């Protein structure tokens, strides 16, 4: 069957959501081709601010990865800007020469930033703030710190200022109007926001008109019309946007401010639709995501043969600045035909204002406490009379009739069409229906299947309340537990904030993240120590007092107070000289027990604590380093003899195992890491129950991961097949680094894999070469400042954090 050809110009959030709806309603109905001017997949543009501030990475904001396009049969042309539409031939032509015929065409070209045409506006260093390319340019300049000037104190301008400040720049915001965010905030809320931003080190100058941007070869500063000169190496223009409608205008399609569409998102050409920021509906061009998603749903319905109609949207605004809670919606201007209700709590930093007209909410501004934003917004959209709750309205949904209600009852009272997640346009009904249809029980599952709370996270509380209502006792809100009693934060949030806030000491983490105790505890200090070692290998000095006793003395404590020592034997291989050295140590220190371990090494048990330095001194003379049998790190790489001796061996499994171990030894991981390399599918090294394993086959090396053979018994998952030993090493190292960066402390790799998702891990390691190479390079970089062998006091080119100096070990042993 010949399918109709659907061509989409633009790959932003609106067409992405439209395709999701289309594929859900009518999979296979169209042959879909997308032209994307950017050289990448679809990502969440409203999350660019957390990327700029360092709180998220690009991979965190991808909406549709490569697998999604492949699974849905979508042809995606990256870096292919469309230059012309031929409405007679029904084709589109990209500037790179690609031509695609269409039966239906969707124009989703978005918007263009407005650049004030003052002298100097074309200098290098003058940037807009619209896409990932802009963010990458900002981050490149921000690496040298210096000064940045943001022109415009609207939503994007303030988020840009915050992000650049987080990157260590000295930031000044200049704004033409008397108050900031004047389109979204009244003066009282604007005052509170300006105060909060000033306290964060961002200078704000209002009533400031830009005269010129100074510089010869690049930006050097900004001159204001009042004569003031501001120094700076970067200028961000954040003064507004305009619909990107030139392509449609050139094709003879009706254009006003934007591309004119009807209630079905159809243009003046019945075969062409417009969607997103480039479209103008009933005289309005929308720049926020919620109305774009609403119109995307209508367009998907029309493409399926439906008759859905888009009636316009009421919008709301939230500022994505960590620690500042702000919500604004509707019309809050003063007027004789309206009244207001105001609540101020100066001590708590809370300001609430509701604007009423004809006994209905027409505007809301909330600062400091935005809990009831969704409720007010729903009342506003549905034009609900508020007469009966007038006296208690300002106190929120859970306080009606003078008594405080269970917050869940308030959420239960919301209608099915009430918006829960504004970032992704997810209503209450969709969340409830998806939970029931898919049997979801965790917040992460709801995020994965509905996208609710998956972006800025401000609606997380509402989503959890909704899950509690829907699931009852089956919902455990503490499934993601705090690290310990010292903090309310979970491991993921702590890891994210350590990077976002550039916290590089344990005291800094505890202060900035508001620890409840002065010095932490035995649960959180080792975890914080690991996260800081992993995230800041160049800057952080390992805190040995935050390590367990086994790690501090490089031996495992036994039930009688003695210790066991396990020297490292690379890949389980040894020699007569090494065995003699071990035998001499056993005799000299009268070690009572010697055992061969499951990891193909020798364990000496019953060593007195005071003998540990001398034991290691003798072993060090023989070339031994610690086998780290105690470590939250790489312990063993078990091997079989492979092609060296076995008649069934297909590859040199022993050589590969030794290579992996020597390359990776001494690097801490969230939990212990055991590997195995088997020379053939007979699997004598038991690689298929290891954290990471390799099965050698005739065609190369099959990499496995996420196995377990302890308290839990679990076979491995197949990561993929590679052809060469070099590739095997690269992929294994990249996988380990991904685990190091994302794993929770004490979380084994199989539990991490379940939390992250096997397909996502395969995508990043097996499919995304750039991502894989990045992981590999970061591992290598961390190893260059890593691994000092303390026993012989010689540097072997590895991790300075991994081993305590001999002097420290002597002090520890003498206690």
Helix crossing, 289-303 with 13-25: angle to 10°? 40
Q: Would the pLDDT of 205 be above 70? A: yes
Q: Report pLDDT for 452.
A: 82
Q: pLDDT confidence of 784, banded at 50, 70, 90? A: low
Q: Report pLDDT for 462.
A: 80
Q: pLDDT confidence of 370, banded at 50, 70, 90? A: confident
* Distance, CA of 744 to CA of 753 (rounded, Å): 11
Which range among 193-207, 252-266, 409-423 shows the weakest confidence by mean pLDDT?
409-423
**Mean pLDDT, to the nearest integer, of 46-71?**
88
Q: pLDDT confidence of 410, banded at 50, 70, 90? A: low
Please answer whether residues 221 and 232 qualify as being in contact, where contact means their C-beta atoms are separated by less than 8 angstroms. yes
Note the pLDDT tens digit of each residue in 561-586.
999 999 999 999 999 999 999 999 99
**Mean pLDDT, to the nearest integer, of 288-303?**
92
Q: Report pLDDT for 808.
A: 38
Note the pLDDT tens digit of each residue in 301-322.
999 999 999 998 888 887 777 6
* Distance, CA of 783 to CA of 62 (rounded, Å): 29
What backbone phi and psi angles, to 5 degrees, belong to 647?
Answer: -75, -10
Which residues make up the CATH 3.50.50.60 domain(s) of the chain?
4-111+243-303, 126-239
Which range among 255-264, 532-541, 616-625, 682-691 shows the weakest confidence by mean pLDDT?
532-541
Closest C-alpha to 34, from 86, 85, 69, 84: 69
**Mean pLDDT, to the nearest integer, of 615-625?**
91
Torsion angle (degrees, nearest 10) of CA 737, 742, 745, 751: -100
Which range among 167-176, 256-265, 436-445, 553-562 shows the weakest confidence by mean pLDDT?
436-445
SS (H, E, C) 655-723: HHHHHHHHHHCCCECCCCEEEEEECCCCCCCCHHHCCEEEEEECCEEEEEECCEECCCEECCEEEEEEC
Alpha helix ranges (H) inside 78-207: 132-142, 155-166, 187-199
On whether 680 is known to bind a ligand per the annotation, the reply is yes
Which range among 187-196, 429-438, 446-455, 739-748 shows the weakest confidence by mean pLDDT?
446-455
Please answer whether residues 85 and 255 qualify as being in contact, where contact means their C-beta atoms are separated by less than 8 angstroms. no
The superfamily (CATH) of domain 634-784 is Sulfite Reductase Hemoprotein, domain 1 (3.30.413.10)
Query: Can you tell me which residue has the tokens 């996270």?
Result: 457
Q: Would the pLDDT of 274 be above 50? A: yes
Percentage of residues in the chain with pLDDT exceeding 90? 57
Architecture of the domain defined by 126-239: 3-Layer(bba) Sandwich (3.50)
* Strand (E) or helix (H) holding 85: strand 82-86
Q: How big, in percent rounded to 5, are the helix, strand and coil portions of the chain?
A: 35, 25, 40
Q: Report pLDDT for 790.
A: 37
Q: pLDDT confidence of 803, banded at 50, 70, 90? A: very low
Q: pLDDT confidence of 801, banded at 50, 70, 90? A: very low
What backbone phi and psi angles, to 5 degrees, belong to 618?
Answer: -65, -40
**Encoding tokens for residue 571?**
């890949």
* Mean pLDDT of all residues belonging to the chain: 88
Q: pLDDT confidence of 809, banded at 50, 70, 90? A: very low
Q: Report pLDDT for 812.
A: 37
Which residues make up the CATH 3.30.413.10 domain(s) of the chain?
634-784
On whether 684 is known to bind a ligand per the annotation, the reply is yes
Q: What length does the chain have? A: 815
Q: Report pLDDT for 799.
A: 37
**Encoding tokens for residue 595?**
């055992």
Please answer whether residues 119 and 212 qualify as being in contact, where contact means their C-beta atoms are separated by less than 8 angstroms. yes
Angle at CA of residue 167, ends 164 and 173, nearest 5°: 20
Query: Can you tell me which residue has the tokens 């067409």?
Result: 15
* Distance, CA of 542 to CA of 549 (rounded, Å): 14
SS (H, E, C) 538-577: CCCCCCHHHCCHHHHHCCEECCCCCEEECECCHHHCCCHH
Note the pLDDT tens digit of each residue in 322-368.
678 888 988 877 778 889 899 988 777 889 999 999 999 999 999 98
Query: Can you tell me which residue has the tokens 């490292």?
Result: 568
Tell me: domain 4-111+243-303, CATH 3.30.70.100, correct? no
Tally Cβ neighbours within 10 Å of residue 460: 15
Q: Report pLDDT for 55.
A: 80
* pTM (2 d.p.): 0.62
Q: Would the pLDDT of 443 be above 90? A: no
Q: pLDDT confidence of 696, banded at 50, 70, 90? A: very high
Q: Report pLDDT for 406.
A: 54
């Amino acid at each position: 069957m010949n399918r109709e050809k659907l061509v989409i110009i633009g790959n932003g959030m609106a067409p992405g959501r439209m395709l999701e709806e289309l594929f859900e309603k009518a999979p296979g109905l169209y042959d879909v081709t997308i032209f994307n001017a950017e050289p990448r997949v679809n990502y969440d543009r409203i999350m660019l601010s957390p990327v700029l501030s360092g709180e998220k990475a690009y991979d965190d904001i991808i909406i549709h990865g490569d697998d999604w396009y492949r699974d849905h049969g979508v042809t995606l042309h990256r870096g292919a800007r469309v230059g012309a539409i031929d409405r007679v031939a029904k084709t589109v032509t990209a500037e790179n020469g690609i031509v695609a015929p269409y039966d239906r065409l969707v124009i989703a070209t978005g918007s263009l930033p407005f650049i004030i045409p003052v002298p100097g506006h074309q200098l290098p260093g003058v940037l807009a703030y619209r896409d990932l390319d802009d963010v990458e340019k900002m981050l490149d300049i921000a690496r040298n710190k210096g000064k940045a000037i943001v022109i415009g104190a609207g939503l994007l301008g303030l988020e840009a200022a915050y992000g650049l400040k987080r990157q260590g720049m000295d930031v000044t915001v200049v704004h033409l109007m008397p108050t900031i965010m004047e389109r979204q905030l009244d003066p009282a809320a604007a005052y509170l926001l300006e105060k909060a931003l000033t306290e964060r080190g961002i200078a704000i100058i209002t009533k400031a008109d830009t005269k010129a941007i100074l510089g010869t070869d690049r930006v050097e500063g900004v001159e204001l019309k009042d004569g003031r000169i501001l120094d700076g190496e970067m200028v961000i223009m954040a003064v507004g946007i305009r619909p990107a409608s030139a392509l449609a205008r050139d094709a003879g399609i009706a254009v006003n401010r934007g591309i004119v569409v009807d209630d079905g998102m159809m243009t003046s050409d019945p075969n062409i639709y417009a969607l997103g920021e480039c479209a103008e509906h009933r005289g309005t061009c929308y720049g926020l995501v919620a109305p774009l998603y609403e119109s995307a749903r209508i367009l998907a319905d029309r493409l399926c043969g439906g008759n859905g109609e888009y009636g316009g949207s009421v919008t709301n605004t939230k500022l994505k600045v960590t620690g500042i809670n702000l919500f604004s919606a509707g019309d809050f201007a003063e007027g004789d035909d309206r009244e207001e209700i105001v609540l101020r709590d100066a001590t708590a930093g809370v300001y609430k204002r509701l604007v009423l007209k004809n006994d209905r909410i027409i505007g809301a501004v909330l600062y400091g406490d935005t809990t009831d934003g969704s409720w007010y917004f729903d009342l506003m959209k549905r034009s609900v009379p508020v007469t009966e709750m007038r006296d208690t309205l300002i106190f929120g949904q859970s306080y009606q009739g003078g008594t405080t209600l269970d917050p869940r009852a308030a959420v239960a009272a919301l209608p099915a069409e009430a918006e829960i997640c504004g970032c992704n346009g997810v209503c209450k009904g969709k969340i409830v229906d998806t939970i029931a249809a898919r049997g979801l029980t965790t917040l992460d599952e709801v995020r994965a299947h509905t996208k609710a709370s998956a972006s800025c996270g401000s609606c997380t509380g509402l989503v959890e309340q909704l899950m509690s209502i829907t699931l009852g006792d089956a919902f455990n809100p503490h499934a993601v537990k705090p690290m310990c009693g010292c903090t309310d934060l979970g491991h993921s949030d702590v890891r994210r904030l350590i990077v976002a806030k550039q916290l590089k000491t344990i005291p800094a983490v505890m202060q900035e993240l508001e620890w409840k105790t002065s010095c932490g505890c035995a649960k959180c200090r080792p975890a914080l120590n690991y996260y800081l070692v992993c995230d800041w290998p160049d800057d952080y000095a390992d805190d040995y007092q935050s390590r367990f006793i086994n790690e501090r003395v490089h031996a495992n404590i036994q039930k009688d107070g003695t210790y066991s020592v396990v020297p490292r034997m690379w890949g389980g291989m040894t020699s007569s000289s090494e065995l003699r050295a071990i035998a001499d140590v056993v005799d000299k220190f009268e070690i009572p027990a010697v055992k061969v371990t499951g990891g193909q090494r020798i364990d000496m048990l019953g060593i007195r604590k005071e003998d540990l330095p001398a034991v290691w001194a003798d072993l060090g003379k023989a070339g031994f380093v610690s086998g780290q049998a105690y470590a939250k790190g790489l312990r063993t790489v078990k091997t079989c003899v492979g092609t060296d001796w076995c008649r069934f061996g297909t590859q040199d499994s022993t050589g590969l195992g030794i290579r992996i171990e020597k390359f990776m030894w001494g690097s801490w991981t969230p939990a212990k890491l055991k590997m195995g390399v088997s020379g053939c599918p007979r699997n004598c090294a038991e690689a298929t129950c290891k954290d990471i394993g390799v099965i050698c086959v005739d065609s190369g090396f099959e990499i496995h991961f996420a196995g377990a053979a302890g308290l839990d018994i679990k076979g491995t998952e197949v990561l993929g097949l590679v052809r060469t030993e070099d590739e095997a090493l690269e992929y294994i190292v990249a996988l380990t680094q991904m685990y190091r960066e994302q794993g929770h402390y004490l979380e084994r790799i199989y539990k991490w894999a379940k939390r992250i998702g096997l397909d996502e891990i395969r995508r990043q390691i097996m499919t995304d070469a750039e991502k894989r190479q990045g992981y590999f390079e970061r591992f290598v970089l961390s190893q260059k400042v890593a691994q000092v062998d303390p026993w012989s006091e010689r540097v072997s080119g590895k991790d300075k954090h991994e081993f305590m100096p001999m002097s420290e070990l002597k002090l520890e042993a003498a206690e």
